[in-house]
Amino acid sequence: MEGVMPSHAYGNQQGMVFVVAQKNASATAGLVLGIIAMVFSIMAPFFFLICCIFSIPLALLGIIFSHIGYSNAKTTGVGKRKAIAGLILNWPQLLLGIIPIATGLYPEFFSAI
C-alpha cells in the first residue's frame, strides 16, 4: 500500500492555532480623517477658505471616530495611540476652523452662503 498513511499518525496530529490580529478601525478612521482635515486646512488660505467647508465636517467626524476608538482601546488595548493622535489632529482643526467663523473674522464666509 503505497501512499497510505498509517492509522496511528492521525491520533498524533497537533492542532493548528490561528492568531487574528486585533484592529481598532475607529481609531484608524479618526487618524485618517484628521490627516485629511489638516491637508484641507493648510490649503484653505490658497483657495479663499473654501476648504473650510470640507475640513470642519471632516474634523468633526474625526473627533467622533477618535473618541469611539479611544473607548474601544480601553477595552481591547489596541489602537490607543492612533486614537490619541486623531484627537490631537482633529480638535485643533475644529476649533481653529469654527472660532474665526463664529467671531466674524471671516465676513466673506457668510457672504458666500
Residue-wise pLDDT tens digits, 49-61: 777 788 899 999 9
Does the residue 83 lie in any domain? Answer: yes
Does the residue 11 lie in any domain? Answer: no
pLDDT at position 10, please? 55
Segment 5-22 shows an average pLDDT of 66
For the chain, the domain total comes to 1
Does the residue 1 lie in any domain? Answer: no
pLDDT at position 6, please? 56
> Would you say residue 18 has pLDDT above 80?
no
* Gyration radius of the chain over CA positions: 25
Does the residue 20 lie in any domain? Answer: no
Pick 103 or 79 by higher pLDDT. 79
Domain residues for the domain of 90 are: 25-112
Does the residue 67 lie in any domain? Answer: yes
Quote the mean pLDDT of the chain.
83
